Amino acid sequence: MEFSTGFGWTRLPVLAAALIFGSVLTASAQIIPPFSPAPAAAVPDEEAEDAPDVNDPDVLKGIDVDKLDWAQLAIDAGTLNDIISAKKRAQAAARDGMDWSSNANANGSSAVKVKQSVSSFWDARIGADMTVAKEPTTMSELMAQKAANGGNIPQSSGSAWAAATAPGAGSVWDKTAVEGRIDPGSEQSKIGASLTKSVPLSGDTSLTLQNGYSVNQQGTTALPGIAGRTTRNYETEQSAKVEITDTGTSITAGQTLSTTDDKWLRKVGAEQKLFDNVTVSGSVGETSQGAINKSLTAGFKKSW
Question: What pLDDT band is residue 92 in, cutting at 50, 70 and 90?
Answer: low
In this structure, what is the dihedral angle of CA atoms 40, 41, 42, 43, given to the nearest 10 degrees?
Answer: 50
C-beta pairs of 238-241 under 8 Å, 24+ apart in sequence: 238/210, 238/211, 238/212, 239/209, 239/210, 239/212, 240/207, 240/208, 240/209, 240/210, 241/207, 241/208, 241/210
pLDDT at 101: 86
Q: Which amino acid is at 146?
A: K
Burial of 228 (0-12, 13-18, 19+ CB in 10 A): exposed
24: confidence class by pLDDT, cuts 50, 70, 90: very low
Answer whether 233's CB lies under 8 Å from 215's CB.
yes
Closest CA to 1 of 92, 83, 81, 90: 83
Q: Residue 201 CA to chain centroid, in angstroms?
A: 37
Question: What pLDDT, in 10s, does the model give residues 101-159?
Answer: 888 887 778 889 999 988 877 889 999 999 988 777 788 877 877 777 777 777 888 99
The pTM assigned to this predicted structure is 0.55
Q: Residue 116: which of 162, 159, 157 has the closest Cα? A: 162
